[in-house]
Amino acid sequence: MRTQVAIIGAGPAGLLLSHLLAQGGVESVVLETRSEEYVAARIRAGILEHSSVELLEAAGLGARIRAEGDEHRGIYLQWPGERHHLDFVDLTGRSVWVYGQTEVQKDLIAARRAAGQEIHYEVSDVALHSLDDRPYVTFTDASGAARRIDAAVIAGCDGSFGPSRAAVPAATVHEKVYPYSWFGILADVAPSTDELIYAWHPDGFALHSMRSESVSRLYLQVPNGTDPQSWSDDRIWDELAKRLGHGQDGWKLTPGPITDKSVLPMRSYVQTPMRHGHLYLAGDAAHIVPPTGAKGLNLAIADVALLSRALIAKIKDNDGVYADAYSDDAQRRVWRCTHFSWWMTTMLHTSGDPFDAELQLSQLRWVAGSRAGATGLAENYAGLPIGY
Protein backbone atom coordinates (compact mmCIF):
# COMPACT_ATOMS: atom_id res chain seq x y z
CA MET A 1 0.00 0.00 0.00
CA ARG A 2 1.04 3.64 -0.38
CA THR A 3 0.48 6.66 1.85
CA GLN A 4 2.04 10.06 2.45
CA VAL A 5 3.21 9.46 6.03
CA ALA A 6 3.75 6.04 7.62
CA ILE A 7 3.42 6.54 11.38
CA ILE A 8 4.93 3.90 13.66
CA GLY A 9 3.23 3.86 17.08
CA ALA A 10 -0.35 4.71 18.11
CA GLY A 11 0.52 6.36 21.44
CA PRO A 12 -0.30 10.03 21.97
CA ALA A 13 2.48 11.19 19.61
CA GLY A 14 1.47 8.93 16.71
CA LEU A 15 -2.29 9.48 16.95
CA LEU A 16 -2.02 13.24 17.44
CA LEU A 17 0.31 13.42 14.45
CA SER A 18 -2.15 11.53 12.24
CA HIS A 19 -4.93 13.85 13.46
CA LEU A 20 -3.02 17.10 12.76
CA LEU A 21 -1.77 15.83 9.40
CA ALA A 22 -5.31 14.95 8.35
CA GLN A 23 -6.46 18.44 9.32
CA GLY A 24 -3.71 19.79 7.07
CA GLY A 25 -4.76 17.56 4.19
CA VAL A 26 -1.99 14.95 4.54
CA GLU A 27 -2.89 11.27 4.73
CA SER A 28 -1.20 8.70 6.93
CA VAL A 29 -1.32 5.06 7.99
CA VAL A 30 -0.58 4.13 11.62
CA LEU A 31 1.04 0.88 12.81
CA GLU A 32 0.84 -0.31 16.42
CA THR A 33 2.10 -3.52 18.02
CA ARG A 34 -0.43 -3.52 20.86
CA SER A 35 -4.23 -3.80 20.77
CA GLU A 36 -6.41 -0.68 20.83
CA GLU A 37 -7.77 -1.66 24.28
CA TYR A 38 -4.26 -2.05 25.73
CA VAL A 39 -3.10 1.31 24.39
CA ALA A 40 -6.20 3.06 25.75
CA ALA A 41 -5.88 1.57 29.24
CA ARG A 42 -2.15 2.18 29.92
CA ILE A 43 -1.87 4.26 33.09
CA ARG A 44 0.76 6.92 32.61
CA ALA A 45 0.87 10.71 32.74
CA GLY A 46 -1.77 12.88 34.41
CA ILE A 47 -0.99 16.55 33.86
CA LEU A 48 -1.44 18.69 30.75
CA GLU A 49 0.42 21.95 30.34
CA HIS A 50 -1.39 25.11 29.35
CA SER A 51 -0.04 24.99 25.78
CA SER A 52 -0.89 21.28 25.39
CA VAL A 53 -4.51 22.07 26.26
CA GLU A 54 -4.52 25.02 23.85
CA LEU A 55 -3.16 22.81 21.08
CA LEU A 56 -5.64 19.99 21.74
CA GLU A 57 -8.50 22.49 21.83
CA ALA A 58 -7.41 24.08 18.56
CA ALA A 59 -7.35 20.58 17.06
CA GLY A 60 -10.96 19.96 18.14
CA LEU A 61 -9.95 17.63 20.97
CA GLY A 62 -10.73 19.87 23.94
CA ALA A 63 -14.39 19.19 24.72
CA ARG A 64 -13.88 16.43 27.27
CA ILE A 65 -10.86 18.16 28.84
CA ARG A 66 -13.10 21.18 29.54
CA ALA A 67 -16.00 19.03 30.74
CA GLU A 68 -14.19 16.38 32.77
CA GLY A 69 -10.66 17.70 33.36
CA ASP A 70 -9.77 19.75 36.39
CA GLU A 71 -7.94 23.07 35.96
CA HIS A 72 -5.33 23.71 38.65
CA ARG A 73 -3.85 27.11 39.45
CA GLY A 74 -0.62 25.62 40.82
CA ILE A 75 0.97 23.07 43.16
CA TYR A 76 2.00 22.70 46.78
CA LEU A 77 5.68 22.33 47.56
CA GLN A 78 6.40 20.94 50.99
CA TRP A 79 9.03 19.66 53.40
CA PRO A 80 8.62 18.62 57.05
CA GLY A 81 6.76 21.32 58.92
CA GLU A 82 6.04 23.55 55.91
CA ARG A 83 3.66 23.53 52.94
CA HIS A 84 3.67 26.36 50.38
CA HIS A 85 1.28 27.00 47.52
CA LEU A 86 2.78 28.18 44.22
CA ASP A 87 0.09 29.94 42.20
CA PHE A 88 1.11 29.56 38.54
CA VAL A 89 -1.78 31.73 37.30
CA ASP A 90 -0.70 34.58 39.54
CA LEU A 91 2.98 34.08 38.65
CA THR A 92 2.72 33.44 34.89
CA GLY A 93 -0.91 33.72 33.79
CA ARG A 94 -0.88 30.02 32.88
CA SER A 95 -2.60 27.04 34.54
CA VAL A 96 -2.32 23.24 34.18
CA TRP A 97 -5.02 20.59 33.78
CA VAL A 98 -5.44 17.25 35.53
CA TYR A 99 -6.50 14.97 32.68
CA GLY A 100 -5.08 11.46 32.42
CA GLN A 101 -3.13 10.17 29.45
CA THR A 102 -5.72 7.39 29.24
CA GLU A 103 -8.34 10.05 28.50
CA VAL A 104 -6.15 11.87 25.93
CA GLN A 105 -5.61 8.52 24.26
CA LYS A 106 -9.35 7.71 24.23
CA ASP A 107 -10.15 11.14 22.73
CA LEU A 108 -7.56 10.60 20.01
CA ILE A 109 -8.80 7.09 19.22
CA ALA A 110 -12.40 8.36 18.97
CA ALA A 111 -11.40 11.25 16.70
CA ARG A 112 -9.29 9.09 14.41
CA ARG A 113 -11.99 6.45 14.23
CA ALA A 114 -14.62 9.08 13.35
CA ALA A 115 -12.34 10.29 10.55
CA GLY A 116 -11.87 6.76 9.17
CA GLN A 117 -8.11 6.75 9.92
CA GLU A 118 -6.34 3.56 8.86
CA ILE A 119 -4.68 2.09 11.97
CA HIS A 120 -3.23 -1.42 12.04
CA TYR A 121 -3.17 -2.73 15.63
CA GLU A 122 -1.39 -5.89 16.83
CA VAL A 123 1.23 -5.80 14.07
CA SER A 124 4.67 -7.40 14.43
CA ASP A 125 8.09 -7.48 12.71
CA VAL A 126 7.96 -3.74 11.94
CA ALA A 127 11.08 -2.74 9.98
CA LEU A 128 12.12 0.54 8.34
CA HIS A 129 13.84 0.56 4.95
CA SER A 130 15.51 2.87 2.46
CA LEU A 131 15.36 5.98 4.64
CA ASP A 132 17.44 8.12 2.27
CA ASP A 133 15.29 7.54 -0.80
CA ARG A 134 11.82 6.04 -1.40
CA PRO A 135 11.31 4.88 2.20
CA TYR A 136 9.05 1.99 3.12
CA VAL A 137 8.00 -0.01 6.16
CA THR A 138 7.42 -3.75 6.27
CA PHE A 139 5.36 -5.53 8.94
CA THR A 140 3.22 -8.55 9.67
CA ASP A 141 -0.43 -7.65 10.21
CA ALA A 142 -2.77 -9.09 12.86
CA SER A 143 -3.88 -11.87 10.50
CA GLY A 144 -0.26 -12.96 9.93
CA ALA A 145 0.06 -11.50 6.42
CA ALA A 146 3.33 -9.81 5.35
CA ARG A 147 2.64 -6.17 4.36
CA ARG A 148 4.53 -3.19 2.97
CA ILE A 149 3.77 0.56 3.13
CA ASP A 150 5.53 2.95 0.76
CA ALA A 151 5.50 6.55 1.99
CA ALA A 152 7.04 9.96 1.38
CA VAL A 153 7.97 10.13 5.06
CA ILE A 154 8.19 7.78 8.05
CA ALA A 155 7.34 9.19 11.50
CA GLY A 156 8.90 7.22 14.37
CA CYS A 157 6.43 7.65 17.25
CA ASP A 158 7.10 4.22 18.72
CA GLY A 159 8.39 5.14 22.17
CA SER A 160 11.61 4.07 23.82
CA PHE A 161 11.41 0.39 22.81
CA GLY A 162 10.39 0.74 19.16
CA PRO A 163 12.66 0.25 16.13
CA SER A 164 12.71 3.88 14.89
CA ARG A 165 15.29 5.35 17.20
CA ALA A 166 17.81 2.62 16.29
CA ALA A 167 17.27 3.37 12.58
CA VAL A 168 19.08 6.73 12.96
CA PRO A 169 22.73 5.90 12.27
CA ALA A 170 25.51 7.64 14.20
CA ALA A 171 23.07 9.31 16.57
CA THR A 172 24.41 10.99 19.69
CA VAL A 173 22.83 9.70 22.88
CA HIS A 174 22.85 11.50 26.23
CA GLU A 175 21.64 9.36 29.13
CA LYS A 176 21.41 9.60 32.91
CA VAL A 177 20.01 6.86 35.12
CA TYR A 178 18.83 7.92 38.59
CA PRO A 179 19.48 5.79 41.69
CA TYR A 180 15.79 5.59 42.64
CA SER A 181 12.39 4.71 41.18
CA TRP A 182 8.78 5.80 41.67
CA PHE A 183 6.29 3.44 43.27
CA GLY A 184 2.95 4.59 41.86
CA ILE A 185 -0.51 3.65 43.10
CA LEU A 186 -4.00 4.38 41.88
CA ALA A 187 -6.65 4.37 44.60
CA ASP A 188 -10.44 4.60 44.65
CA VAL A 189 -10.57 7.44 47.12
CA ALA A 190 -11.23 11.16 46.83
CA PRO A 191 -7.98 13.15 46.75
CA SER A 192 -6.98 14.55 50.15
CA THR A 193 -5.84 17.77 48.49
CA ASP A 194 -7.25 20.28 45.99
CA GLU A 195 -3.95 20.59 44.08
CA LEU A 196 -0.88 18.33 43.73
CA ILE A 197 1.54 18.07 46.66
CA TYR A 198 5.25 17.59 45.89
CA ALA A 199 6.85 16.59 49.20
CA TRP A 200 10.51 16.44 50.16
CA HIS A 201 11.06 14.11 53.13
CA PRO A 202 14.27 12.70 54.69
CA ASP A 203 12.96 9.19 53.92
CA GLY A 204 12.31 10.06 50.27
CA PHE A 205 10.08 12.05 47.93
CA ALA A 206 6.30 11.63 47.82
CA LEU A 207 3.71 13.05 45.42
CA HIS A 208 -0.04 13.31 45.88
CA SER A 209 -1.72 13.59 42.48
CA MET A 210 -5.19 12.64 41.27
CA ARG A 211 -7.22 11.56 38.28
CA SER A 212 -10.73 12.67 39.27
CA GLU A 213 -12.92 13.61 42.24
CA SER A 214 -12.97 9.96 43.29
CA VAL A 215 -9.59 8.60 42.11
CA SER A 216 -6.22 9.48 43.65
CA ARG A 217 -2.77 8.87 42.16
CA LEU A 218 0.17 8.81 44.57
CA TYR A 219 3.88 8.13 44.27
CA LEU A 220 6.75 7.25 46.63
CA GLN A 221 10.48 7.37 46.00
CA VAL A 222 11.79 3.79 46.41
CA PRO A 223 15.12 2.06 45.70
CA ASN A 224 15.63 0.72 42.16
CA GLY A 225 14.54 -2.89 41.84
CA THR A 226 11.66 -2.59 44.34
CA ASP A 227 8.99 -5.24 43.77
CA PRO A 228 5.57 -3.53 44.00
CA GLN A 229 3.96 -6.70 45.30
CA SER A 230 6.39 -6.79 48.25
CA TRP A 231 4.67 -3.74 49.80
CA SER A 232 1.36 -4.30 51.62
CA ASP A 233 -1.38 -1.69 51.17
CA ASP A 234 -1.03 -0.67 54.83
CA ARG A 235 2.71 -0.13 54.42
CA ILE A 236 2.13 2.06 51.33
CA TRP A 237 -0.46 4.25 53.08
CA ASP A 238 1.65 4.53 56.25
CA GLU A 239 4.67 5.64 54.24
CA LEU A 240 2.60 8.11 52.20
CA ALA A 241 1.03 9.53 55.38
CA LYS A 242 4.43 10.04 56.98
CA ARG A 243 6.08 11.64 53.95
CA LEU A 244 3.08 13.78 52.97
CA GLY A 245 2.71 15.16 56.52
CA HIS A 246 -0.48 13.53 57.83
CA GLY A 247 -1.31 15.42 61.03
CA GLN A 248 0.69 18.51 60.07
CA ASP A 249 -1.53 21.57 60.74
CA GLY A 250 -4.55 19.27 60.89
CA TRP A 251 -4.11 17.92 57.32
CA LYS A 252 -5.17 14.29 56.82
CA LEU A 253 -4.39 11.74 54.14
CA THR A 254 -7.42 9.53 53.59
CA PRO A 255 -6.50 5.98 52.48
CA GLY A 256 -8.67 3.85 50.20
CA PRO A 257 -8.71 0.70 48.08
CA ILE A 258 -5.61 0.46 45.87
CA THR A 259 -6.48 -0.62 42.31
CA ASP A 260 -3.05 -0.51 40.67
CA LYS A 261 0.58 -0.72 41.82
CA SER A 262 3.63 -0.23 39.62
CA VAL A 263 7.28 0.74 39.87
CA LEU A 264 8.74 3.17 37.34
CA PRO A 265 12.53 3.48 36.94
CA MET A 266 13.75 7.01 36.25
CA ARG A 267 16.10 8.18 33.56
CA SER A 268 16.89 11.08 31.27
CA TYR A 269 17.61 10.17 27.65
CA VAL A 270 18.06 12.44 24.65
CA GLN A 271 18.92 11.20 21.16
CA THR A 272 19.97 13.61 18.45
CA PRO A 273 19.37 14.27 15.60
CA MET A 274 15.63 13.58 15.54
CA ARG A 275 15.72 13.18 11.77
CA HIS A 276 17.56 10.94 9.36
CA GLY A 277 16.71 11.22 5.68
CA HIS A 278 12.94 10.68 5.40
CA LEU A 279 12.60 9.41 9.00
CA TYR A 280 11.51 11.85 11.74
CA LEU A 281 11.35 10.93 15.45
CA ALA A 282 8.83 12.37 17.91
CA GLY A 283 8.01 11.82 21.60
CA ASP A 284 9.56 9.05 23.68
CA ALA A 285 11.22 7.62 20.55
CA ALA A 286 13.69 10.50 20.81
CA HIS A 287 13.74 11.40 24.51
CA ILE A 288 12.75 10.27 27.99
CA VAL A 289 12.53 12.47 31.07
CA PRO A 290 12.13 11.39 34.69
CA PRO A 291 8.47 11.97 35.64
CA THR A 292 9.00 14.69 38.28
CA GLY A 293 7.41 17.78 36.72
CA ALA A 294 5.10 15.85 34.38
CA LYS A 295 6.83 16.68 31.11
CA GLY A 296 6.89 13.39 29.09
CA LEU A 297 3.44 13.55 27.51
CA ASN A 298 3.59 17.33 27.06
CA LEU A 299 6.92 17.09 25.28
CA ALA A 300 5.51 14.47 22.89
CA ILE A 301 2.62 16.85 22.09
CA ALA A 302 5.04 19.76 21.51
CA ASP A 303 7.21 17.66 19.15
CA VAL A 304 4.15 16.71 17.15
CA ALA A 305 3.03 20.34 16.87
CA LEU A 306 6.34 21.14 15.17
CA LEU A 307 6.47 17.94 13.12
CA SER A 308 2.94 18.21 11.74
CA ARG A 309 3.60 21.78 10.56
CA ALA A 310 6.89 20.65 8.97
CA LEU A 311 5.41 17.66 7.16
CA ILE A 312 2.35 19.54 5.89
CA ALA A 313 4.62 22.28 4.45
CA LYS A 314 6.91 19.70 2.91
CA ILE A 315 4.28 17.41 1.44
CA LYS A 316 1.57 19.89 0.45
CA ASP A 317 3.68 22.94 -0.48
CA ASN A 318 7.00 21.30 -1.30
CA ASP A 319 8.56 23.63 1.30
CA GLY A 320 11.23 21.82 3.32
CA VAL A 321 12.33 24.71 5.55
CA TYR A 322 10.49 23.56 8.68
CA ALA A 323 11.37 19.92 8.03
CA ASP A 324 15.06 20.77 7.76
CA ALA A 325 14.85 22.78 10.99
CA TYR A 326 12.67 20.22 12.86
CA SER A 327 15.37 18.43 14.85
CA ASP A 328 17.08 21.63 16.03
CA ASP A 329 13.75 23.35 16.75
CA ALA A 330 12.43 20.40 18.76
CA GLN A 331 15.67 19.92 20.68
CA ARG A 332 15.48 23.41 22.21
CA ARG A 333 12.36 22.43 24.12
CA VAL A 334 13.61 18.88 24.71
CA TRP A 335 16.66 20.22 26.56
CA ARG A 336 14.62 22.80 28.48
CA CYS A 337 12.30 20.02 29.69
CA THR A 338 15.22 17.66 30.28
CA HIS A 339 16.82 20.26 32.49
CA PHE A 340 13.59 21.10 34.33
CA SER A 341 12.78 17.42 34.98
CA TRP A 342 16.34 16.79 36.23
CA TRP A 343 16.16 19.92 38.40
CA MET A 344 12.83 18.94 40.00
CA THR A 345 14.04 15.36 40.44
CA THR A 346 17.34 16.27 42.10
CA MET A 347 15.69 18.95 44.28
CA LEU A 348 13.07 16.58 45.67
CA HIS A 349 14.58 13.06 45.87
CA THR A 350 16.81 12.24 48.81
CA SER A 351 20.19 10.61 48.30
CA GLY A 352 21.03 9.86 51.94
CA ASP A 353 23.84 12.46 51.92
CA PRO A 354 23.23 15.15 54.64
CA PHE A 355 25.08 17.79 52.57
CA ASP A 356 22.75 17.18 49.60
CA ALA A 357 19.76 17.37 51.94
CA GLU A 358 20.77 20.82 53.25
CA LEU A 359 21.25 22.09 49.69
CA GLN A 360 17.83 20.75 48.68
CA LEU A 361 16.11 22.36 51.64
CA SER A 362 17.85 25.65 50.96
CA GLN A 363 16.74 25.51 47.33
CA LEU A 364 13.16 24.61 48.30
CA ARG A 365 13.00 27.54 50.73
CA TRP A 366 14.25 29.85 47.98
CA VAL A 367 11.84 28.52 45.34
CA ALA A 368 8.86 28.77 47.67
CA GLY A 369 9.88 32.03 49.31
CA SER A 370 11.07 34.17 46.41
CA ARG A 371 8.84 35.39 43.60
CA ALA A 372 11.75 34.95 41.18
CA GLY A 373 12.34 31.35 42.31
CA ALA A 374 8.65 30.48 42.23
CA THR A 375 8.20 32.07 38.80
CA GLY A 376 11.06 29.96 37.36
CA LEU A 377 9.38 26.76 38.51
CA ALA A 378 5.93 27.97 37.41
CA GLU A 379 7.06 28.99 33.90
CA ASN A 380 8.58 25.58 33.30
CA TYR A 381 5.84 23.55 34.95
CA ALA A 382 2.88 25.30 33.32
CA GLY A 383 4.87 25.07 30.10
CA LEU A 384 6.54 27.37 27.67
CA PRO A 385 4.63 28.34 24.52
CA ILE A 386 4.67 25.80 21.67
CA GLY A 387 7.55 26.71 19.41
CA TYR A 388 9.83 27.71 22.32
Whether 339 sits among the annotated catalytic residues: the reply is: no
Query: 291, 314, 326, 349: which is the annotated catalytic residue?
Result: 291
Q: SS3 of 178, please?
A: strand
| Cα–Cα distance for residue pair 91/52, rounded to 1 Å | 19
Q: Provide, rounded to whole angstroms, the least separation between the CB of residue 351 and ligand FAD.
A: 22
**Site residues, ligand DHB (CB under 6 A):** 45-47, 196, 209, 217, 291-294
Selection from ligand FAD, ligand DHB, none that 33 binds (CB < 5 to 8 A by kind) is: ligand FAD
DSSP assignment of 213-264: SS-EEEEEEEETT--GGGS-HHHHHHHHHHHHTTTGGG--PPP--EEEEEEE
Q: Which is nearer to ligand DHB, 245 or 291 (CB)?
A: 291
User: What mask of x and - would describe binding to ligand FAD in positions 184 to 223, judged by CB under 6 A?
Assistant: ----------------------------------------
The partner residues of 119 in beta bridges, in order of sequence, read 30
Whether 72 sits among the annotated catalytic residues: the reply is: yes
Q: Provide, rounded to whole angstroms, the least separation between the CB of residue 7 and ligand DHB.
A: 26
Q: Provide, rounded to whole angstroms, the least separation between the CB of residue 361 and ligand DHB.
A: 20
Q: Provide, rounded to whole angstroms, the least separation between the CB of residue 116 and ligand FAD.
A: 20
Whether 135 sits among the annotated catalytic residues: the reply is: no
Q: Which of 31-39, 57-65, 269-277, 320-328 is the region at the interface with ligand FAD (rule: CB under 6 A)? A: 31-39
CA dihedral 357, 359, 363, 366 (to 10 degrees): 110
List Cβ neighbours of 173 (8 Å cut-off, separation of 6 or more). Answer: 269, 270, 271
Q: Which of 28-36, 192-200, 250-258, 370-378 is the region at the interface with ligand FAD (rule: CB under 6 A)? A: 28-36
Start-to-end C-alpha separation, the chain: 37
Q: Provide, rounded to whole angstroms, the least separation between the CB of residue 329 and ligand FAD.
A: 17
Q: Which is nearer to ligand DHB, 47 or 374 (CB)?
A: 47
Task: Give yes or no for a contact between 6 and 153, defined as CB atoms under 8 angstroms apart.
Answer: yes
Q: Does 300 engage in binding with ligand FAD (CB under 6 A)?
A: yes
Query: 198, 269, 280, 326: which is the annotated catalytic residue?
Result: 198
Query: 201, 295, 314, 349: which is the annotated catalytic residue?
Result: 295
Per-residue burial over 333-356, b = 16 or more CB atoms within 10 Å of its CB, e = otherwise: bbebbbebbbbbbbbbbbeeeeee
Nearest residue to 305 (alpha-carbon basis) of 13, 22, 11: 13
Chain residues that interact with ligand FAD, rule: CB under 6 A = 8-14, 31-34, 39, 44-46, 101, 126, 157-159, 161-163, 264, 283-284, 291, 294-297, 300
Active site residues per annotation:
72, 198, 291, 295, 381
